[in-house]
Structure 1
């Protein structure tokens, strides 16, 4: 007798039951895969929100691993035994002359900005907050203090952070820091691309700032005139115990402690302080 599907001694109902169970298992596996994908998507969304909300993103460095690297690498090329004398840019002030000031000295609010020209989070901050910072500094309500770090050089290798910082200091020597600072961020390469290590590229970008591309500026960039000053600034960042860049302090308080911080809120706080 032909028992059909049960001809090997397995009754048809058990074969059907086995097929049904396989179908259920397949559906359950599909649901589990879907649940995993949903969790991955939630995690990805959470990471994206953490990167963009209020531009409170930072280029995080593993301090334990990087402190020595930053101190060793910042301010000198591979093979250099000495970084040379510390030459602060014109107009720099603060402790050890490590601050590049923008705005009026008598402004009631001070915004301290620790940044790294290779850091994409710094560019995100710039894109979001730059218009308000320019408005407030030009209006005399805010004094911005720019302080330069080189953590990406320490994390990923290369000298782009340092070389760009040196070039920005060279621009400060002739009163073009703000304009050149903005050009560097507008033309920032991908984080892993050490394009700013090429002094020719930094000089090329100086051509976007009226009156900056001069023989004196070129020599300053090519000689690394302010490399040791940049190294000293990077050391101050490390000793300050900051977790990453950008670190932005309004009158000494990290603005990103307020998770609802926005450019408009920053502007309001500065204007209220200006009014007394």
Structure 2
């Protein structure tokens, strides 16, 4: 065989081997692609399975527990906490949020007057608790404080603890009331309230679902904000007709509403102290 023929033969062999190597590389590439696709499908299936498994555990909201109204709660769906004699001639309905600065201003200005009228049997107060600041500012201080106040109601000390919370209200943006330890610390200012039963009620959120129900009732009631204050069903905050709320006007409005009516059963003045805050 001539050198030329040998070179041609060697070239064909090299070409054939190169084609075989290329085919082998292509088979390996396809194997890798298929394997990767299988792994991807298995991974996707695992993720889908995880999502499916978790979808039954949490739908994005809390699982509501049983509605636990505090002791003595009254009214529609037991959402009102009453203070004062049931036979008082006038009823003051107050919607408040413990994080609400305007609520604290209302309480600090009129607390003593309301306490005196409740104590004299002239007025009965129905407190409703809202949680709008949690929604507006974030956090859970409105909810936590309202639950603690409901726990105080169980102990017969709602009015006094209610006053302590407003007297110690943190700045609106400060979610200090979200700390149960702080709420329990403040209970020390109400004689006899800081008990193991109260602490357990606060820490376990016994009345959380009741507070949430109350907050929903506020929203669905179409109220414009907190505080919402009604005297015998008529709005008096911040005005009653053309008159601005003040201690003098408040007294006048209650006296006008009670004209010709006998006072109810006198009760001890509620709350922590009866002096009007400045």
RMSD: 1.2
Instruction: Could you tell me which runs of 5 or more consecutive residues in structure 2 were left unpaired when the two chains were aligned.
Output: 1-59, 261-278
Q: Distance in 2 between matches of 1:215 and 1:80?
A: 30
Tell me the equivalent position of 1:257. 239
Instruction: Could you tell me which runs of 5 or more consecutive residues in structure 1 were left unpaired when the two chains were aligned.
Output: 1-78
Tell me the matched-pair count: 198
Alignment of 1:62-211 (within 5 A): 81-211=62-192
Q: Distance in 2 between matches of 1:132 and 1:86?
A: 34
Q: CA deviation at 1:170?
A: 0.2
Q: CA deviation at 1:194?
A: 0.3
Deviations 1:13-43 (Å, cap 9, x if unpaired)? xxxxxxxxxxxxxxxxxxxxxxxxxxxxxxx
Q: Is the 8 A contact 1:98 1:147 kept in 2?
A: yes
Q: CA deviation at 1:261?
A: 2.5
SS at match of 2:69: coil
TM-score with structure 1 setting the length: 0.70
Deviations 1:185-236 (Å, cap 9, x if unpaired)? 1110000000000000000000000000000000000000000000000000
Q: Is the 8 A contact 1:83 1:227 kept in 2?
A: no
Q: Distance in 2 between matches of 1:148 and 1:238?
A: 11
Q: CA deviation at 1:177?
A: 0.3
Is the counterpart of residue 270 in structure 1 residue 254 in structure 2? yes
Q: Distance in 2 between matches of 1:93 and 1:220?
A: 20
Structure (1 or 2) with the larger CA radius of gyration: 2
